[in-house]
Amino acid sequence: MGSTAGDKVVNDLGNHIYLEKQDRLRDIGVDIQTSQIVVVGSQSSGKSSLLENLTGFSFPRGQGLCTRYATQITLRRNPVESIVMSITPSTDATQETRDRIRVFHRQPDSFQATSLAAVIQEANKVMGIRPGDRENDLSLPMFSNDILKVEISGPDKPHLTVIDVPGLFQVTDEGRTTESEKAMVENMVRRYMENERTIVLAVMSCLADRATEGVMQLAKSADPKGERTVGVLTKADLVNEKAVYKNIFDLVKGATLKLGYFVVRSRGADEDDIGVSECRELEQDLFQDPSWEPIAKLGRTGVPALNKELQVLLTDLAKRELPKQLQEVSTRLEACQKTLSAMGPAHSDAASQRLYLLEIALKFERISRDAREGIYGRDEDLFGGNDTMLIAEIISMNEKYSEYMDIKGCSYCFNDQTPTSEVLPFEKLRPKTHSILSNRGGVKVDDTVTPPYQSLSDCIKSCYLQTRGPELGTFGVSLLSRTFRTQSEKWLKIAIRHVHAVATAIHTFLTTLIKKISSEALLDQLWRTALTYNHYFNDNLQKARINRLEKKMRTHAINAAAATYNVDVVTLNMNSLRNLVDNKSNADQVQEDVHDILQSYYKVARKRFVDNICHQAIDYYLLDAPDSPLKIFSPNFVMGLSDTQLDQLAGESAVAKAERERLQFEIQDLEEAMEVLRS
């Protein structure tokens, strides 16, 4: 069974400070869970009577569903009696709605129900809900997520804050409530109950079946261990059977709730005109009756005992949760400030927009220059992966491109080349990047050209037969040009794929860079280096001819060792030597000569082509040209923008403006909450 307040001192000033902090947090409206008491029950549970006896606040009667929004009743000890009523807008309200609602501030002339009823009707109108439960505009909602705040001060008031929520109802009433409103009320009640800093007063009649009572089912769902729930049995004045007395006694004495149960008397149907003090006298007389004596001895009867217990529970909860609240507010404040800072200045005019873009352009220029020159130390958070080590990435890609051109660039293998596999996997060239050319280029190079000949020799012979003229033992220039075009047919497509791959790598880097220095996508930038792989045509041609002659001499050698071993002395007889020169047809001789010339020229041309692609197409046009993406977004570019262009590039969208405004208001509330918690 839960313990009572007993001899605990509940009016200590230090305890009041903890409760006042929670009240001030609620006043600010910051979206953070506060230590509080919420009263939950069905519409016929006696909840309103309990609240009235707890707080002294008389809820107006005859107003239909009088509780149609959460009502926060705050009691404060003060020499002067007063009552102040205001509205705290819901957290999802627009700024316009918040401004309109926060203007509402009333001080009723008295605590009389008629005076309070007029103020509540005004509050209903401000919240935009129906004034009554049936009449007037049925298109208006019946319930609201706004909070009616009632502050009651007086010399005999305890420091206590209680939140009343709309009563639960199981059946809707046509013209009065709908299924969606029923769900809205239940969600509102759940939201308050699930707050781990909330003490739940689960209110039900002494005569109710607790096994099926909806409020107890909700309480069990929100507080499975029963550590935050206080059961309150109302309408004790209606109990007249011994069995019911015994059930109540057993429940209070052996309570399954850790905070236990209390039993209170409710205002009778014919007692509307009597005051709170008179109600408490009637309650005191009731529990002095012998029928209630066993339960009264447990110290769990009457509103005064409940009131003391609640003050102790709430104070202990506020003390325990204060450090956690401070940490939550601090974390949220830091996050909001960081988000707002990342948005940068508002730049709502042309001057601020130009300054904003200039700052980004200067950062862009510096970081891209560092990336171009391989200086990564100044921005380690940016240059952290392969995709952002730009110049290293491009150098590696150029090397693989050159290697691929050397291995697979020709349509046919030269006679001294060993054929490669039909498909050379890029993974062998660059395993970790998973085939940059293949993945980023989008096509298979090996499938782009279907050679019409079986070998290069067949190609040369066919071209010779088609282009030969009256020359004797020689060939025309057209033969070389035609065979070269055929042999280099794959170059362009390989080059396009390589340039595409490099452009994609640059785009990846620029995307990362823009995200680092700006919250908006603006423009791209690029850069350059030169690579050279070239030899001399004559050297290649001479080497080809010497190698061919050496190979044939070895096959005709008299000394057998020269044919199979690498020896420098080869012995030939004259007939063999004559056969090396004479035993060829004109076509065969032309084929060999064209092959050697083509191979020598091909190597020079291929390396020059690779060099030009790397130097001109990539280094110059993609990286260093005055009109490259890198150079386009520069301070000079920004200075040349018109006011309209500035607004298009740097002006805030309506969504961004709304987000900035939301962050500013939230930061203001959180800073105020920090002051309250630290004071």
The pLDDT tens digits for 48-81 are 889 888 887 776 665 444 578 888 888 888 888 8
The pLDDT confidence band at residue 233, using thresholds 50, 70 and 90, is: very high
pTM of the predicted structure, to 2 decimals: 0.55
How much of the chain is in helix, strand and coil states, percent to nearest 5?
55, 10, 35
Check residue 136 and give left, alpha or beta (phi > 0: left; psi -120 to 50: alpha): left
Measured between alpha carbons, how far is residue 570 from residues 191, 545, 546, 552, 574 in Å? 100, 17, 14, 11, 13
Mean pLDDT for 383-411 is 76
Give Cα separations from 58 to 93, 115, 203, 358, 385 (angstroms).
Answer: 29, 10, 18, 64, 68
Instruction: Identify the pLDDT of residue 605.
Output: 78
Give CA–CA dist 83/73, Å, rounded.
10
Q: How far apart are CA 299 and CA 309, in angstroms?
A: 11
Per-domain residue ranges of the chain? 13-333, 355-650
Write out the CATH class of domain 13-333: alpha beta
How far apart (Å, rounded) are the C-alpha atoms in residues 117 and 512? 61
How confident is the model at residue 600, as a pLDDT?
Answer: 64
Structure tokens at 102: 């926060």
Least confident of 307-311, 390-394, 507-511, 591-595: 591-595
Q: Average pLDDT for residues 379-392, to the nearest whole number?
A: 66
Q: Residue 9 — very low, low, confident or very high, per pLDDT cuts 50/70/90?
A: very low
Residue 30: φ, ψ to 5°: -65, 140
- 183 token code pair: 């769900």
pLDDT at position 3 is 43
Q: What is the pLDDT of residue 330?
A: 93
Query: Which pLDDT value is given to residue 467?
Result: 59
User: Side chain identity at 617, as an amino acid letter?
Assistant: A
pLDDT class for 597, splitting at 50, 70, 90? Answer: low
* Averaged pLDDT of the chain: 74
Residue, of 395 and 536, whose pLDDT is higher: 395
Count CB neighbours of 263 within 10 A: 28
Of residues 248 and 632, the one with the higher pLDDT is: 248
Can you give 342-360 as a three-state secondary structure string?
A: HHCCCCCCHHHHHHHHHHH
- In this prediction, residues 208-231 reach a mean pLDDT of 85
- Summarised one tens digit per residue, pLDDT across range 336-374 is 999 998 887 777 788 888 888 888 888 888 888 888 877
- Residue 131: strand pairing partners: none
Is the model more confident about 439 or about 87? Answer: 87
Confidence class for position 461, pLDDT limits 50, 70, 90:
low
Three-point CA angle 276, 305, 40, nearest 5°: 75
Residue 296 has pLDDT above 50, yes or no: yes
CB 620 within 8 A of CB 528: yes
Higher pLDDT: 131 or 136? It is 131
The three-point CA angle 252-255-259 to 5° equals 100
CB contact set of 471 (below 8 Å; sequence gap of 6+)? none
Which residues lie closer than 8 Å to 235 by C-beta, 6 or more apart? 46, 205, 206, 207, 265, 266
Residue 332, pLDDT score: 93
Task: Give me the mean pLDDT over the 403-410 stretch.
Answer: 77
- Helix (H) or strand (E) segment spanning residue 244: helix 242-253
Q: Residues 6 or more apart from 393 whose CB is under 8 A from it?
A: 386, 387, 505, 509
pLDDT exceeds 70 at position 86: yes
Q: Which residues contact 160 (CB under 8 A, 6 or more apart)?
A: 19, 37, 54, 55, 74, 75, 307, 310, 311, 314
In whole angstroms, what is the distance from residue 318 CA to residue 550 CA? 99
Which residues lie closer than 8 Å to 423 by C-beta, 6 or more apart? 444, 446
CA angle 167, 172, 176 (to 5 degrees): 85
**Residue 223, amino acid:** D
Give me the pLDDT at residue 549, please. Answer: 44
Query: What is the per-residue pLDDT for 338?
Result: 93
CA distance 158 to 303: 13
Instruction: Give the model confidence (pLDDT) of 34-49 as tens digits.
Output: 888 999 988 788 888 8
Report for 277-281, 380-384, 535-539, 650-654: range of highest mean pLDDT? 277-281
344: left (phi over 0), alpha (psi -120 to 50) or beta: left
The number of CA neighbours under 13 Å toward the Cβ of 86 is 17
Residue of 439 and 116 predicted with greater confidence: 116
Q: Which of the two residues, 543 and 266, has the higher pLDDT score?
A: 266
Mean pLDDT of 530-556: 43
Range among 119-128, 130-139, 458-467, 533-542 rated most confident: 119-128
pLDDT average, residue stretch 537-565: 46
pLDDT for 464 beyond 80: no
pLDDT(648) > 50: yes
Q: Residue 333: pLDDT above 80?
A: yes
Task: Report which of residues 208 and 458 the model is more confident about.
Answer: 208
* pLDDT for res 328: 93
**Which one-letter DSSP state was computed for residue 223?**
-
Examine the pLDDT at 187 and tell me if it is beyond 60.
yes
Q: Could you tell me which residue, 187 or 480, shows the higher pLDDT?
A: 187
pLDDT value of residue 353: 85
pLDDT at residue 411 greater than cutoff 60: yes
Neighbours of 17 (CB within 10 A): 14
User: Contact 441/404 with Cβ under 8 angstroms?
Assistant: no
pLDDT surpassing 80 at residue 607: yes
Chain-centroid distance of CA 527 in Å reads: 33
Closest to 297 in 3D by CA, of 309, 287, 286, 312:
287
| pLDDT band, very low/low/confident/very high, at 536 (cuts 50, 70, 90) | very low
- The reported pLDDT for the residue numbered 364 is 84
Phi and psi dihedrals of 523, rounded to 5?
Answer: -145, 175
Q: What is the pLDDT of residue 379?
A: 64
Closest CA to 408 of 534, 493, 504: 493
DSSP result, 7-32: T-----HHHHHHHHHHHHHHHHT-SS
Q: Please check the confidence at residue 649 and state whether its pLDDT lies above 90.
A: no
Residue whose pair of structure tokens reads 């005992």 in the numeric block? 305
pLDDT tier for residue 263 given thresholds of 50, 70 and 90: very high
- Report pLDDT for 347: 78
More confident residue, 28 or 565: 28
- Encoding tokens for residue 161? 């804050």
The region of weakest confidence among 158-172, 386-400, 461-475, 516-530 is 516-530
Q: In what order do the strands lie in the sheet with 160-164?
A: 105-106, 82-88, 147-154, 70-77, 160-164, 36-40, 198-205, 229-234, 261-263
